[in-house]
Amino acid sequence: MNTPFKALDEMNRLTSPFPESVAVKDWKKAGRKVIGWYNPYVPEEIIHAAGMLPFEVTGDNEPVQMQGAERYIFSNSCSKIRTCWQLQLDGKYKFLDGLVSSSMCDQDKRLYSLWEYYNKLPYLDLIYAPRKRDEEAVKLYLADLEDFRDRLSLSQLRRIPDRDLADSIQTYNRGRELMKQLYELRKRDHPPVTGAEAVEVSKAAARLPRERFNELMEQLLDEIQRTGREIKKAMRLMIIGGDLHNTNQIANLETLDVVVVADEMDIGIRRAWGQVDTTLPPMEALARYYVLGRPVDKHNWISDGRLEFIGEMAEQYKVDGIVSEDVRFCTYNGWDRFDLKKQMDKRGIPILVLDVEYGENWSGQMKLRVEAFLEMLQNQAKAPTGKSPKK
């Protein structure tokens, strides 16, 4: 039994109950606003600089039963998007004062339109998420960001000054730096945190005021160092694919002799990688970071970089295998499958691809297939010849 970390417990306390948590209630009690967002091309720093709490709209640790969402969006759609909409219908997101999305994918766009048409919030905004990663894309995105900043400023009747943007960037950079440190620690043979705990940290980053999150991250890293906690498991896994907010699922997976040490998900690494360049004017710095500063994303057309990053990450973290949890109907993950498998085969890294519903629990098909995969990994590890990914 792993000794719980006080800092992580506090993160969980503050971010419970989901989604209108203790932290959200405190924030709103102080008369402050909460702006929802739901994909990684919405710069939280701009919302933060406007004095508002950026809050990621997602599901959580239980699958959400569809009870009417399909009246607004057909069932051949991304279950994450349907989940978010169902939660809205259930009144769970009534604390939002606004919503910002980017058109990172078709369904993101459509979810935004649902809000616009059926539940117009006081502030609604949509920016573009470039598919290319080049200077032209940075320019295009920057133009959109400037317009976003203007509109957000107007809604608050207060121009968001560059100075505040610079401060927000520092604050978010600090958070990234701290999360990256945690990732580095997970490279160890016996990482200090489980995959489930790492995802809880990542979730908290997007649900708490960033200053408070940073404090708790510092405490967490300190606790890790002081306790010297080690997770001793036989196998190491990497999870990639769609967003995964159901940490119960990972926690259940990790009751087996396996620990999740790495990921390539928007909820994971994309929160922790890189730093916004503080030597540049803040808006340009943000545009540059969000377009070029993080690992290649699944929506980027030229996916070569993504496949390469996954392979390198898997090797650096010495994983025994990769599980790709592809949320059904995801076009982006769908088109990467063939080449992903080929590339991982070349590197000798076994990969299991699952078609899942967002928020799926650890049961049924998922359990069956992952258990079989882990058995295969164990057998491979024992085999004297052949490709044997080892530490």
Residues 72 to 131 in contact with other proteins, rule: CB under 8 A? 72-79, 81, 103, 105-107, 109-114, 116-118, 126-128, 130-131
- Inter-residue contact 258 to 374 (CB < 8 Å): yes
User: Residue 164 or residue 243: which is nearer to other proteins going by CB?
Assistant: 243
> What is the C-alpha end-to-end distance of the chain, expressed in Å?
24
Residue 198 has a CB neighbour count (10 Å cut-off) of 28
Q: Considering only 34-42, 274-282, 324-332, 374-382, which stretch makes contact with other proteins by CB under 8 A?
A: 324-332
Site string for other proteins, 38-77 (x = CB under 8 A): ------------------------xx-xxxxxxxxxxxxx
Candidates 156, 225, 278, 331: give the one binding other proteins (CB under 8 A). 331
> How big, in percent rounded to 5, are the helix, strand and coil portions of the chain?
50, 10, 40
What's the closest the beta carbon of residue 273 comes to other proteins, in angstroms? 21
| Angle at which helices 195-205 and 210-227 cross, to 10° | 160
What's the closest the beta carbon of residue 214 comes to other proteins, in angstroms? 33
User: Residue 191 or residue 359: which is nearer to other proteins going by CB?
Assistant: 359
Length of the chain: 391
What's the closest the beta carbon of residue 29 comes to other proteins, in angstroms? 32
Residue 335 is a binding residue for other proteins (CB under 8 A):
yes
User: Residue 144 or residue 263: which is nearer to other proteins going by CB?
Assistant: 144
Residue 310 is a binding residue for other proteins (CB under 8 A):
no
The secondary element (H helix, E strand) that includes residue 50 is none
State how far Cα 214 lies from the chain centre. 17
Residue 137 is a binding residue for other proteins (CB under 8 A):
yes
Candidates 161, 365, 383, 387: give the one binding other proteins (CB under 8 A). 365
Candidates 2, 90, 143, 284: give the one binding other proteins (CB under 8 A). 143
Residue 147 is a binding residue for other proteins (CB under 8 A):
yes
- Cα separation, 366 vs 360, in Å, equals 8
- Cα separation, 245 vs 243, in Å, equals 6
- Cα separation, 380 vs 352, in Å, equals 14
User: Residue 148 or residue 289: which is nearer to other proteins going by CB?
Assistant: 148
Residue 363 is a binding residue for other proteins (CB under 8 A):
yes
Which is nearest to 137 in space by CA: 20, 288, 322, 301? Answer: 288
Candidates 5, 183, 317, 329: give the one binding other proteins (CB under 8 A). 329
User: Residue 225 or residue 331: which is nearer to other proteins going by CB?
Assistant: 331
Residue 346 is a binding residue for other proteins (CB under 8 A):
no
What letter would DSSP give residue 267?
T
Residue 154 is a binding residue for other proteins (CB under 8 A):
no
Phi, psi of 131, rounded to the nearest 5 degrees: -90, -25
Residue type, 32: R
State how far Cα 163 lies from the chain centre. 28
